[in-house]
Amino acid sequence: MRALALLVMLAPPALAQDVTSAPGGILRWLDKVSGETADIELARGQAATSGFLTMQLDECRYPSADPAADAYAHLTIRDSRAAEPVFSGWMIASSPALSALDHARYDVWVLRCATE
């Protein structure tokens, strides 16, 4: 056990990945009550409303070396029945549960960035 801890402490830090900002991104929205889904393409700074939610794409980034590999999107999601946003932060397409919208009725996740 001590050897493993020592190995972890001496391992080189993970290299940061170069990313590129995209002009937009594509989200998927799910109404868990009705089963309705929709893919929503948004430009950076644009918002769209589905059901009670308004989803705004603040930023979408992807790995510079492989645009199809992943997407990292900063979203601000508001419920028309709440004063504060129900989600504001980064979502990662390859790991949607890592930073997810916690809503009783809706799910929203990032599919990919819209590249030129």
Question: Average pLDDT in the 40-68 region?
Answer: 94
- Please tell me the pTM assigned to this model: 0.81
Number of H helices, E strands in the chain: 1, 8
Phi and psi angles of residue 88, each rounded to the nearest 5 degrees, phi first: -150, 110
End-to-end CA distance of the chain: 49
Amino acid at residue number 105: R
What is the C-alpha to C-alpha distance for residues 57 and 91, in angstroms, rounded to an integer? 11
Give the pairing type, strands 72-79 and 53-63. Answer: antiparallel
Whether 100 is in a domain gets the answer: yes
Residue 98 belongs to a domain: yes
Q: Is residue 8 part of a domain?
A: no
91 belongs to a structural domain: yes
Residue 24 lies in a domain: yes
Q: What pLDDT shows up at residue 5?
A: 43
DSSP three-state, residue 77: strand
3-state secondary structure of 46: coil
Average pLDDT over residues 1-24: 61
Please say whether the beta carbons of 60 and 24 come within 8 A: yes
Domain that holds residue 97: 14-114
Statement: residue 75 has pLDDT above 80: yes
pLDDT tops 60 at residue 37: yes
* Structural domain count of the chain: 1
As a whole number of angstroms, the distance between CA 26 and CA 15 comes to 27
- Is 3 among the domain residues? no
Instruction: Evaluate whether residue 7 is within a structural domain.
Output: no
For 15-21, what is the mean pLDDT?
Answer: 80
